[in-house]
Structure 1
Amino acid sequence: MALWAIKCSISPYNNGIHSEVPLNTPNRFNTQQPLRRSPPAIHTSRRKKKRNFSSLKILTPKPPNNRDTDLVFYSRRLYMLCKNAQVDEAIRLLRSMEDNKGLVPDTVTYNVLINALCRDGQLELGLLLLGEMQDKGCTPTVITYTTLIHGFCEAGRLEYALKLLDLMRSKEIGITPTTVTCTALIQGLCAQGELKRALDLLNQMKSMGPNCAPNELTYKKLIHGLCQEGLHELGVELLHEMVQRGFRPDEITSSALIRGLCQSGAFLRAALFVSEMVYAGVQLDLATYGCLLDALCKVGEAALVRDTIRLMCERDVALDSSAYSGLIQRLCDKGMVDEAVGLKEEMRRKGIDPNSVAYTSLVDGLRQAGKNDHVLELVHEMESKGLQPVGNILKVLFQSFYS
């Protein structure tokens, strides 16, 4: 029995702790002992801890000795270098794959490199790669030429871009340009003020087939170029042609034409064009309407001013107190007081309170029109709302009444 007790005392199940309870104690097994805890389970996960690799380090291991696999490997690495604007490193890798591996890059690889060179401004090197492609039997595509044409247009070197266009359309190459190609050229020509050549190219696009037909962007670039040169009437004609081809004009293009027409003095043409665009579904902003109202006020077209304001209300143009005040001030400055008073009444119907600028403009406009009774009513209305007149209008009123 004693031997058994000693063995129990060093048993691994009691963690090597010798029990002080005598073996002959009746309630020996009821004595509260500290709970024995089993050792924590060891969980082995098959998922390895993630490591942070750069996009280039992923491609560091040597690929298998297979020419197709090698070409894919190097093409991906070239793409990543170009994407990270490491163009010089990409060129060195291109020479390395040719010298050490004997690999010939394909068209996609050359296009990626030429695009990166054009974005980096290395246009001559891009042309050298174009010649290298042809020497090695790698056929350039429309993407190759479009990339180079766009790069030269962005750099303002239009003659090179036009020569590339002629080259790709020649019998030796026989590549038909696309809409993207010609639109890039039109944008470059407009930026240099070569509008006649841009219009000629637009006419050529219409006969080059469906892949080179002018699209919405083509017309917009040309219309903005015409507006910059003051040829707004021609821009309106192009916009009508654009609509006939099924393209919808946007707010920016329409506003540019309206502003241009107003600045050139074609007020009636601008008002008619606004009506056309509004009923075509174009949402014009407040600044464009304000430009038209300024132009109409200068020539005293009160009827057109009222029609424009009514059109703004019908189209739910967002007008707050400041916007209404600006319109009232424009009308009063041009002597169109009745229209200004009508705007104030419209503000009242909409629950918009005129501010001090609106009241001051109305007071001064009514004073100049000789409507002194209305002037005093407006002054009392201002005082009841706790508004102070802007400038020295009270002094002017005093001199007007008592001089």
Structure 2
Amino acid sequence: MGMVDTLCTHLHQNNGSVENSLSKVKPKLDSQCVIEVLNSCHPKQPLLGVRFFVWAGFQSGYRHSAYTYSKACKLFGIQQNAQIIRDLVLSYEAEGCLVNVNMFREVLKLCKEAQLADVALWVLRKMEQSFNIGADTVMYNVVIRLCCKNGDIETAEKLIGEMSLNDLYPDLITYMAIVEGLCDVGRPEHAYSLLKGRVGEAYKLIDKFVVEHGVSYGDCCSSLVISLIRIKKLDEAMKLFMEMLSGDARPDTLASSLVLKELCMKDRVLDGFYLLEAIENKGCLSAIDSDIYSILLFGLCQRSHLTKATKLAKIMLKKSVPLQSPYKEGAIDVLIESGEKDLVNHLTGIRKGL
């Protein structure tokens, strides 16, 4: 009898204790095995399938992949039938099942995959009230992020306040969820005030990140820059980014690269070049993705800003940044026509020399 058959036998003949029956097998799980067992429960026994999935998620030597979470949610229609998550937790309660924090982590990950904010909040409350299991920061973050994506910023902020009452503290993931959520619901000015206002709870929140938990002010600012770009607030993102460069905050790789790329896409290549110079003067140029240099160089060449293009090409040469396709050919042709054949030869030889 193969492992899948063995698991299915123990799963369907559990004598009222699914987890105890499965644990007797002591299996070496893999994704294919897990999916085959789930298929055996579809479509007639979805609750049993989900219960197996939760148990499997924290077995020794195995962790669910992103694909496996997606597969489980689609197979049992969890997004459309959110009640199955409630029924799962209620079955634990009705049977007096010996539950642990790992089980609830898996339940919340299913809520995350299915984007079930209300159910995730219910699970968080249920585990504390009925099972006396306290959530950790990671679990709170799952629920907070779901609330933010659902536009329920008020609940997310209440959960952050609740964390401190339980001797837990928000981390950068918590903060980014709130910032992105505020931007998504059209309140970027509120998100911006979290950084610039530094009053009341906003001040306390940032202070906890920066002082107590090693999260830099630059990281917080960078997350807001990224969110502003995502909702097409480029000018506001630029304003904050320039304030970072003129102050003590250091922008991260993603924020720097996205701002430069957006400027190029908006046909503002000169602004992009001057911003890159400012980033270099700040000592953060190593934080730029290599393809951004090629996009910017191509844009400068196409618009005949040859002095700036030559200067950028020399920066790329100095930092051994190779030209990337599909921008490579267009930039090379213009630089050669402007008399920079030697520079082009050196630049195109970077990849070969690496």
What is the TM-score normalised by the length of structure 2?
A: 0.57
Deviations 1:71-119 (A, max 9, x none): 736743543333442624323323434554566645443222112334x
Change beyond 3 A, Cα 1:243–1:312: closer
Which residue among 175, 182, 187 is the counterpart of 1:145? Answer: 175
Percent identity over the alignment? Answer: 22
Q: Does 1:194 align with 2:231?
A: no
- TM-superposed CA distance for 1:259, in Å, is 1.8
- Using a 3 Å threshold, how does the CA distance of structure 1 residues 76 and 173 change in structure 2: closer, same or farther? same
Asked whether the 8 Å contact 1:259–1:291 carries over to 2, the reply is: yes
Corresponding residue number in structure 2 for 1:113? 143
Q: 1:162 aligns with which of 161, 185, 192?
A: 192
Superimposed CA distance per residue, residues 259-279 of structure 1 (whole angstroms, 9 cap, x where no aligned partner): 221233212321332233123
2:268 matches 1:231: yes
| Aligned partner letter, 1:195 | D
The CA deviation at 1:146 is 2.2
Q: 1:227 to 1:157 in 2, by over 3 A?
A: farther
Q: 2: CA distance between counterparts of 1:190 and 1:110?
A: 26
2:72 maps to what in 1?
A: none
Corresponding residue for 1:333? none
| Aligned-pair CA distance for 1:246 | 5.6
Q: How does 1:317-328 map to 2 (within 5 A)?
A: none
**Runs of 5+ unmatched residues, structure 1:** 1-46, 319-403
Q: Deviations along 1:46-78, whole A, 9 cap, x unmatched?
A: x8485956332568656999xxx9673674354
2:146 alignment partner, SS class = helix
Aligned length: 260
Q: Does 1:85 align with 2:114?
A: yes
Paired residue secondary structure (2:251): coil
Deviations 1:323-342 (A, max 9, x none): xxxxxxxxxxxxxxxxxxxx
Q: Distance in 1 between matches of 2:157 and 2:112?
A: 20
**CA 1:291–1:173 in structure 2 vs 1: closer, same or farther (change >3 Å)?**
closer
CA contact (8 A) 1:149 1:161 kept: yes
**Hey, what's the Cα distance between the residues in 2 that align with 1:104 and 1:315?**
54
User: Given the alignment, which residue of 66, 72, 79 partners 2:101?
Assistant: 72
Map of 1:389-400 to 2, 5 A cutoff? none
Alpha-carbon distance between aligned partners in 2 of 1:63 and 1:77, rounded to the nearest angstrom:
19
TM-score in terms of structure 1 length:
0.51
Distance in 1, matches of 2:25 and 2:132, equals: 37
Contact 1:259 1:288 in 2 (8 A): yes
Question: Contact conserved, 2:151 with 2:185, CA < 8 A, in 1?
Answer: no
Residue in 1 aligned with 2:52?
54
CA distance in 2, matches of 1:266, 1:49: 67
1:251 aligns with 2:278: no
- Which residue does 2:158 correspond to in 1? 131
Shift, 1:283, TM fit: 0.9
Alignment partners' CA distance in 2, 1:170 and 1:313: 50
For the residues of structure 2 that align with 1:71 and 1:296, how far apart are their CA atoms? 64
Indicate the structure whose relative CO is greater, using CA pairs within 8 Å and at least 6 residues apart: 2
Q: How does 1:22-61 map to 2 (within 5 A)?
A: 48=25, 50=27, 52=37, 54-57=52-55, 61=92
Check the 8 A contact 1:74/1:97 in 2, yes or no: no
- Alpha-carbon distance in structure 2 between the residues aligned to 1:308 and 1:286: 18
Question: 1:219 deviation in Å?
Answer: 2.0
**Aligned residue runs from structure 1 range 296-335, under 5 A:** 301=338, 303-304=339-340, 306-307=341-342, 310-311=345-346, 314-315=349-350
C-alpha deviation, 1:133, in angstroms: 4.7
Higher helix residue share: 2
Instruction: Give deviations 1:117-147, integer Å, cap 9, x for gaps.
Output: 34xx3121x4314225526834652432222
Q: Distance in 2 between matches of 1:246 and 1:164?
A: 24
Partner of 2:67: none
Partner-residue secondary structure (3-state), 1:111: helix
